[in-house]
Amino acid sequence: MIEVQAANGAAGDAGVEVVTVRSDALSVELLSLGAAIRDVQAPDAAGRPGPVHLRLDDVSEYLDRSRNPHLGASVGRYANRIAGATFSLDGRDVELVANNGVNQLHGGPDGFDRRVWDVLDAQGSDDGGTVVLRLMSADGDQGFPGQVVATATYELSGDTLTISYAATTDAPTVVNVTNHGYWNLDPAGDGSVPTVERHRLQLDAARYLPVDDAGIPPGGPVDVTGTPFDLRVGVELGPAMAAVGGGFDHCFEVAGPVLRSHVGTLARAAVLSSPDSGRWMTLHTNQIGVQCYTGNGLHDPFPVHGSVSLETQLFPDTPNRPELGSARLDPGQEYASVTVLRFGTGDAPS
């Protein structure tokens, strides 16, 4: 089942549409602003549906950047950070719009997540439905070369939500799009949000990317063995966040040692679970990395460490670091990113 409606108030004036997709297991609410997830309702161990994604009370609040830290949004043209807000492409320096100190974060101050996307299609199915949104990013947008046409496709089928991104360009450029979900498997029905300290997280990653204080990697991926970044057997997040100095904001290599440019084999990357609600969520992706962010910078109306983000993507600063792979997209090619989220209760998959 699918419902499409215009938002009210300021969000409606901005052209924001709200799309709700339901299956027998889940209800997913999307916004055309940022091609974003606003809400996901999933049953707990007692069968009671409840929210598993952070949300603001009113759709118009998503227009307020001080309250909306990319909530559930489609982030691009380049997710994560590009050092010095510059990179070289075909022998020329590309100057980007900085918005994270001297660096660029998540595509700049007016990245994909701050734009209203066009709802191209919304089709229901027997147990869910598919929503396709499109955005045209002009040549020079936030400093990036080439006109890029991007699509975001959300497909709900039963207990599974698949998020797919595609992009084409008319000139050489770089592309790295992700969904910046803010997951918490325990929010109460009254809207209160506990921390995720009791959540358990398993990341199927033998290596992670150390970063400096600005979130820029000074080198390549390193082995997680014997470090607090070894999450391969699943850990309780409270002690794990304390062990790394206040929370995770790091990219984990989930594709193995063979680097890929844009698309690869779909494989499991993460399992998030809660002993309190009994819910779990698995994540599969075709991307090389998963940025794990534990809500270290969240603020009112959400608590610090009130969510876990698992952003499937290329490595940060790849346009400046050929040893990390390639983010390049040329005319005639298609960028493709796929993330599959499955929700359940009981014993989490191991």
Query: Collapsing DSSP states into helix, strand and coil, what is residue 35?
Result: coil
Query: Is residue 262 pLDDT above 70, yes or no?
Result: no
Query: Is residue 324 pLDDT above 70, yes or no?
Result: yes
The residue segments making up the domain with residue 55 are 2-345
The residues annotated with a catalytic role in the active site are 180, 311
Q: In this structure, is residue 171 part of a structural domain?
A: yes
Query: Is residue 257 pLDDT above 80, yes or no?
Result: no
Predicted confidence at residue 144, as pLDDT, reads 98
Q: What percent of the chain has pLDDT over 70?
A: 96
CATH of the domain at 207: 2.70.98.10
| 137 bridge partner residues | 148
Strands 73-75 and 81-82: unpaired
Q: What is the CA radius of gyration of the chain?
A: 19
CA–CA distance from 144 to each of 95, 141, 287, 328 (Å)?
Answer: 8, 5, 22, 12
Segment 69-93 shows an average pLDDT of 97
Q: In this structure, is residue 49 part of a structural domain?
A: yes
Token pair 């029905």 in the structure block, residue: 189
Q: In this structure, is residue 229 part of a structural domain?
A: yes
Distance CA 18, CA 1 (A): 14
The answer to whether residues 284 and 340 touch, using CB atoms and an 8 Å cutoff, is yes
Phi, psi of 148 (to 5 degrees): -115, 135
**What's at 128, amino acid-wise?**
G
pLDDT tens, residue by residue, 110-140: 999 999 999 999 999 989 999 999 999 999 9
Segment 3-32 shows an average pLDDT of 92
The answer to whether residues 166 and 146 touch, using CB atoms and an 8 Å cutoff, is no
Query: Is residue 258 pLDDT above 60, yes or no?
Result: no
Predicted confidence at residue 189, as pLDDT, reads 63
Distance CA 169, CA 79 (A): 17
Q: How confident is the model at residue 349 (pLDDT cuts 50, 70, 90)?
A: confident
- Supply the DSSP symbol for 126: T
Q: How confident is the model at residue 50 (pLDDT cuts 50, 70, 90)?
A: very high
Query: Collapsing DSSP states into helix, strand and coil, what is residue 81?
Result: strand
The answer to whether residues 18 and 5 touch, using CB atoms and an 8 Å cutoff, is yes
Query: Collapsing DSSP states into helix, strand and coil, what is residue 83?
Result: helix
Predicted confidence at residue 348, as pLDDT, reads 85
Q: In this structure, is residue 219 part of a structural domain?
A: yes
What does pLDDT average to over the chain? 94
pLDDT tens, residue by residue, 143-179: 999 999 999 999 999 999 999 999 999 999 999 999 9
Q: In this structure, is residue 350 part of a structural domain?
A: no
- Supply the DSSP symbol for 261: S
The answer to whether residues 70 and 323 touch, using CB atoms and an 8 Å cutoff, is no
Distance CA 145, CA 89 (A): 9
Query: Is residue 3 pLDDT above 90, yes or no?
Result: no
Predicted confidence at residue 223, as pLDDT, reads 97
Structure tokens at 4: 């499409």
pLDDT tens, residue by residue, 277-311: 999 999 999 999 999 999 999 999 999 999 999 99
In residues, how long is the chain? 350
Distance CA 28, CA 11 (A): 19
Q: What sign does the CA torsion over 228, 229, 234, 236 have?
A: positive
- Supply the DSSP symbol for 308: B
Predicted confidence at residue 73, as pLDDT, reads 98
Predicted confidence at residue 261, as pLDDT, reads 43
249-253, strands of its sheet edge to edge? 222-223, 207-209, 249-253, 289-293, 309-313
Distance CA 299, CA 277 (A): 24
Nearest to residue 1, comparing CAs of 121, 131, 126? 126
Segment 9-14 shows an average pLDDT of 84
Segment 227-250 shows an average pLDDT of 96
The answer to whether residues 279 and 343 touch, using CB atoms and an 8 Å cutoff, is yes
Query: How many CA atoms lie less than 13 Å away from 145 in the CB half-sphere?
Result: 19
Distance CA 256, CA 289 (A): 9
Query: Collapsing DSSP states into helix, strand and coil, what is residue 323?
Result: helix
Query: Is residue 13 pLDDT above 90, yes or no?
Result: no
**What's at 280, amino acid-wise?**
W
Strands 104-105 and 118-125: unpaired
Q: What percent of the chain has pLDDT over 90?
A: 89
Q: How many distinct structural domains can be found in the chain?
A: 1
Q: How confident is the model at residue 11 (pLDDT cuts 50, 70, 90)?
A: confident
Segment 186-198 shows an average pLDDT of 83
